[in-house]
Amino acid sequence: MESPAPPADPARISDEIERWLLGEGDKTLGSLVELFGKKSFAVIFLFLLGLPALPLPTGGATHVLEIIAMLLSLQLIAGRQEVWLPERWLRIELAGEKQQKFVNGLLKVIRWFERWTRPRLRGAFEHRVSSSVFGLLILLLSIAAFVAPPFSGLDTLPALGGVVVSLAVLVEDIAMVILGLAIGVFGVALEIVVGRAALSGIEKLF
């Protein structure tokens, strides 16, 4: 008697996103929400915080994305299970010729972290308050990225922390949540240190 075949590996988030990118239809925030359903919050955070997390010059253009991330995180904190956004925001293009460099970079980052992710302490993600805690973490990391001075690159680490935490929630990996928090906290500390140094330098000039 032949032994049963082992279960197929679950699809990776990066593969699901790539299929969405290569499929038909608009590549808007709204289409992402429709496709991923309950996963929408975490998947959207990957995109919204993915751009400031990459070492690409944006000149503060990521502030709009960080504001949307804050709004969605507040919805999670309030216990909402479905994404709500104004129609204008749902029509924001996330992929296309102009965004190709960003999308390719984001997928590389996600795939690198996916090499180390696996379900760990899944029960922590099934608790009633886990979504609210997730929302609070994303809110704090989004604010930290938002207040970073433009062109400074200091928004990279807080945003990257948000990306890692979001990926961790998708795969239910508590170790990756801790890693994302460590990256975010280090980024916030760096903002504070550099900010104080900059203020001290300005004071010496006057």
Averaged pLDDT for residues 119-140:
86
Averaged pLDDT for residues 91-108:
76
The per-residue pLDDT for 63 is 83
Three-state SS at 12: coil
Contact 161, 180 (CB under 8 A): yes
pLDDT at 100 over 50: yes
Maximum mean pLDDT: which of 62-66, 78-82, 141-145: 141-145
Q: Per the structure block, which two tokens stand in for 85?
A: 């956004």
Q: Provide the whole-model pTM.
A: 0.84
Three-state SS at 24: coil
Three-state SS at 161: helix
Averaged pLDDT for residues 63-88:
89
The per-residue pLDDT for 2 is 45
The per-residue pLDDT for 1 is 40
Q: Per the structure block, which two tokens stand in for 148?
A: 């970073």
Three-state SS at 206: coil
Averaged pLDDT for residues 75-87:
89
* H/E run at residue 156: helix 156-171
Q: Which residues pair with 173 in a beta bridge?
A: 120
Please provide residue 11's backbone torsions phi and psi, each rounded to the nearest 5 degrees. Answer: -65, 135
- Of 50, 38, 57, residue with least CA distance to 113: 50
pLDDT in tens, 158-183: 999 999 999 999 888 999 999 999 99
Q: C-alpha 48: how far from its chain's center?
A: 6
d(CA 100, CA 78): 34
Question: How many CA atoms are closer than 13 Å to the CA of 98, on its beta-carbon side?
Answer: 5
More confident residue, 13 or 200: 13
Residue type, 69: A
What is the DSSP secondary-structure string of 165-195?
A: HHHHHHHTBHHHHHHHHHHHHHHHHHHHHHH
pLDDT grade for 3, boundaries at 50, 70 and 90: very low
Maximum mean pLDDT: which of 10-14, 19-23, 108-112, 152-156: 108-112
Cβ neighbours of residue 38 closer than 8 Å, sequence gap 6 or more: 81
pLDDT grade for 148, boundaries at 50, 70 and 90: confident
Share of the chain above pLDDT 90, in %: 28
Q: Per the structure block, which two tokens stand in for 75?
A: 């919805």
- Of 162, 166, 156, 170, residue with least CA distance to 142: 162
The per-residue pLDDT for 204 is 66
The per-residue pLDDT for 98 is 62
- Over the chain, what is the mean pLDDT? 82
